[in-house]
């Protein structure tokens, strides 16, 4: 399971998931990559860890950093290729992420490599006007989207619209809302994610 952190964070910020899920998924390797530092427009050009640049939170799909997104996609594809070369079938690899990381996880649906599942927490489909939003290889890949209905950073409506887009394209997608949760995560969400990935990672 590859888990991608949000803007300004590092892989270490999500490493607790490995400990949390260890007893339920004893044979699963967890990878928590670090995004490179880059200037972030919305934060006045300050340099911080980010999978891509963001210009606006009001319109996350406007003026998207397609180059940064594709660069991050290639990097995650390299990580997947290393695991496949080590003997792990791609169909046993889950890519998940929070916020920016979740957007990159959803971008991985466009990969030519069939993934085991994709998990997106408090995220949205990037480059949504560039159809199709998933490759033929990932047409049936299970997708789990989770979003707090009180999210003030990545609006709940963006998550819902992304879910509806995936659904309209025939994707195998589920959406779970968390009442009162802002731009964060909660234990119930972690439990739901575990139940979702277990059939893929423990079979």
From the list 128, 118, 179, 126, the residue with the least C-alpha distance to 151 is 179
SS3 196: helix
Q: Which two tokens stand for residue 69?
A: 């997104």
Which token pair is 17? 């998931």
For residue 147 the two structure tokens come to: 């979003």
183 a catalytic residue: yes
Q: Give me the catalytic one of 72, 122, 151, 162.
A: 151
SS3 for 67? helix
CA atoms within 13 A on the CB side of 2: 30
CA 112 to CA 135: how far, in whole Å?
A: 6
| Catalytic residue list contains 99 | yes
12 is catalytic: no
| From 9, 53, 72, 99, active-site residue | 99
Active site members: 99, 151, 183
């Amino acid at each position: 399971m590859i888990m991608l952190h949000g803007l300004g964070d590092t892989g270490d910020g999500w490493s607790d998931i490995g400990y949390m899920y260890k007893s339920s998924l004893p044979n699963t390797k967890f990878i928590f990559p670090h995004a490179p530092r880059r200037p972030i427009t919305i934060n006045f050009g300050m340099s911080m860890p980010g999978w891509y640049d963001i210009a606006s939170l009001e319109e996350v799909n406007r003026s998207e950093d397609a180059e940064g997104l594709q660069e991050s996609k290639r990097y995650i594809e390299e990580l997947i290729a290393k695991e496949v070369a080590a003997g792990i079938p791609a169909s046993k690899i889950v890519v998940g992420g929070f916020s920016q990381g979740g957007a990159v996880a959803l971008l991985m649906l466009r990969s030519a490599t069939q993934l085991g599942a994709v998990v997106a927490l408090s995220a949205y489909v990037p480059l949504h006007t560039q159809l199709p939003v998933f490759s033929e290889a990932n047409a049936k890949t299970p997708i789990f989207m989770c979003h707090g209905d009180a999210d003030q950073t990545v609006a709940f409506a963006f998550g819902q619209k992304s879910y509806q887009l995936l659904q309209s394209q025939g994707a195998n997608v589920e959406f779970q809302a968390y009442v009162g949760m802002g731009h964060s995560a909660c234990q119930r969400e972690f439990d739901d994610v575990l139940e979702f990935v277990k059939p893929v990672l423990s079979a």
